[in-house]
Amino acid sequence: MPATSRDTPAAAPLISEIESALKEGSGERRMRVLMQVTDLFITHADSIPSSGMFDDVLTHLIAQVESSALIELSRRLAPLPNAPQRTLRSLARNDSIAVAGPILENSSQLSDAELVEIANSKSQWHLASIASRPNVSETVTEALVDRGDAEVANKLAGNPGARFSRMTMDKLALRADGDDRLTGTLARRPDIPPAVFRHLIAQATEAVREKLLANASPQQKQTIRQVLDQIAAQTIDRGPPKNYDFAERVLATFSQDTELSKQKVREFATKKRIAELIATLGFLSAVEVEDIEALFYTPGYMGLMVLCKTVQLNWDTLYAVLTARPDAPTPHEFPYMDVHEQYRQLSTQSARQLLRFWVGRRKIADKF
């Protein structure tokens, strides 16, 4: 069969012939026809400069065959570098993961934009397949971390071919809070930034720390012990217990006005009225005070960035909140430009999803 474009007249007789056969054929016969066309394409794949005609035929066929045939077609086309594109993209978007999975995991023809679109619209099984690809770009890992469940996050963290921006790595570290498996998987990545590693070790349970030490090389053990020593020396002093009853009474005087409440966040942060600050953040985000308090004292910046972006606070307010913490660096030491740029890039939708993941994980962890 010669290589022709999808507009060639040669495609029409072939499609007509197949239609005639399919109208009277059984499911088994339809599958046989599909496999014959597929085999023909695979046989000549190396010498076909354009697969437009095969695309016409296969696109027509896959609308009329059973899922078992689509699964086999997906398996055969996934590794081909020049598989018919419309057919490939149709299979990749199939709701059945048995059909879409091989394409999502193995096809090199899917662009980052297509993978992100599928990650934002399909099931967690689809996201897990994308997370298993030999190479996953920073753009795609960000979409997977934003929407993927715990299984997707862990699979992605364990994929040596996945590349992460610093922001996405920080998001994963936040999601690892209370998730021992993800903490261990992420901590073992060779590309993890030192600051993120310290964050993970700081929030890890004793069981996870012991497991990491047991499985580490002598050099890694030394690094982990150094981090633990630094953490012990830098433990945040939360001060005396907070009077949240009083804070709730203060909050009641302005909580009917959301914009005023946002202004109060900055005022309380600047004056280091921590109980009122935490209570107001809890009111604006609809998150329980004990969870806000835990997030306030969580190492690093991502947790409070996510919280403040969720309730749409501006940068000046976030900066006031971050510098209200007892362990806040001096203005000279604060990585102002980096954190400001991360906050600018963090979307409200992404922040809200991450906050839901974090709160949900804490509720699960509290049950055990």
Give, as one character, the DSSP assignment of residue 8. Answer: S
Written as one letter, the residue type at 162 is: A
Main-chain dihedrals φ then ψ at residue 283, nearest 5 degrees: -65, -45
pTM for this predicted structure: 0.81
Q: What 8-state DSSP symbol labels residue 162? A: B
Residue 153: its pLDDT value, please?
96
Cα 349 from chain centroid?
13
How far apart CA 328 and CA 236 sit, in angstroms, is 10
- Range list of H helices, 234-273: 244-252, 258-270
Per-residue pLDDT of the chain (368 residues; tens, 9 = 90+): 344 444 444 444 555 556 655 555 555 656 666 666 666 566 655 555 445 666 777 777 777 777 888 898 899 889 988 888 888 999 999 999 999 999 999 999 999 999 999 999 999 999 999 999 999 999 999 999 999 999 999 999 999 999 999 999 999 999 998 899 999 999 999 899 888 888 888 888 888 888 888 887 787 788 888 877 776 665 556 767 788 999 999 999 999 999 999 999 999 999 999 999 999 999 999 999 999 998 998 878 999 999 999 999 999 999 999 999 988 888 889 999 999 999 999 999 999 999 999 988 877 766 55
Ranges of each domain in the chain: 1-109, 244-366
Tell me which amino acid residue 77 is: L
